[in-house]
Amino acid sequence: MHRPLQGDPKEVTLIKKASGWYAHISCELPDIPKVEPTDAIAVDVGTTHYLTTSEGEKEDNPRWYREAEGLLHKHNQTMARRKKGSNRWYKAVHAIALHQERTANKRKDFIGKLVYKLYHHKENNVLIAEDLSVSNMVQNKYLSKSISDASWGKFFEWAGNIAERDGFHFHQVDPKNTSQTCSSCGKKSPKKLSLAIRTFNCQYCGTVLDRDHNAARNILFKAAAAFRGERWVTTLYEARNKNEAQDAGLQEATQLMLFDALNKPKSLGLGS
């Protein structure tokens, strides 16, 4: 066992992977009460970097993924050269499965450490991200290959799991217009910013900000507005605590000083 069990074990599943058999033990954990939200950070996921935070920090794309892709291509070629059903062919098939398992483990490791850093090292108890499923962004904004590279879905899932486990908050907001709106004055750029333009230049208030930093700030403000019950409805990942959050009066502004302190623009203009 690679780490001690927490809670009561409820179910054991045996899983056969390329590298061997594994026992997956599910444990029941007591419900962790949500902490009061005091420190929030938002992330904008992208292709030039894995993500950019609302504080302007960037996390690079993991380099190993490209390397892993190259190696997978080689393995596939080897398999294709061999006679189907032969011993050597089976060996190649196994090598591919093993490679994919290792890649998945590396991805898990990368995402786990990143999520841990955002919550624990940075001491945030609220993490906000965009909800890519609510828009067609996947199709129209990014290349699908980059999406699989960056594995944001796994990142969001893990961010939600850790929030639930540790009593933190994870929310996802509709990313619509978050890259097209000034996070300082809230006005939308009259001309659509293409992906190639990496700096947001506001022609109304003169703000000049890294494109992804600006988007991350807007993502944070959208969630803040949703918290205050103004305009936005976020996807609440911690559905279990949804009513709890309402009971605790999270809609009230007093609970959300942290968001207000961030110099929120008067009109977000992120709606239509």
Per annotation, catalytic residue among 55, 57, 130, 174: 130
Find the shortest distance in angstroms from Cβ 189 to Zn ion: 9
Find the shortest distance in angstroms from Cβ 52 to Zn ion: 18
- Indicate the residue among 200 and 237 with the shorter CB distance to Zn ion: 200
Distance CA 244, CA 29 (A): 18
Pair 162, 116: CB distance under 8 Å: yes
Q: In the chain, how many H helices and how many E strands?
A: 8, 10
Distance CA 96, CA 174 (A): 37
- Indicate the residue among 7 and 56 with the shorter CB distance to Zn ion: 56
CB 200: neighbour CB atoms within 10 A? 24
Per annotation, catalytic residue among 131, 164, 174, 212: 212
The residue to which tokens 């203009």 are assigned: 269
- Indicate the residue among 135 and 201 with the shorter CB distance to Zn ion: 201
Find the shortest distance in angstroms from Cβ 209 to Zn ion: 9
Distance CA 214, CA 55 (A): 9
- Indicate the residue among 111 and 182 with the shorter CB distance to Zn ion: 182
Locate 226 and state its tokens.
């949703």
> What contacts 202, CB < 8 A, 6 or more positions away?
182, 184, 185, 187, 189, 208
Q: Which residues bind Zn ion (CB under 5 A)?
A: 182, 184-185, 202, 204-205, 207
Please confirm, yes or no, whether 28 is among the known catalytic residues. no
C-alpha dihedral (268, 218, 164, 100), degrees to nearest 10: 140
Please confirm, yes or no, whether 212 is among the known catalytic residues. yes
Q: Catalytic residue positions?
A: 44, 130, 212
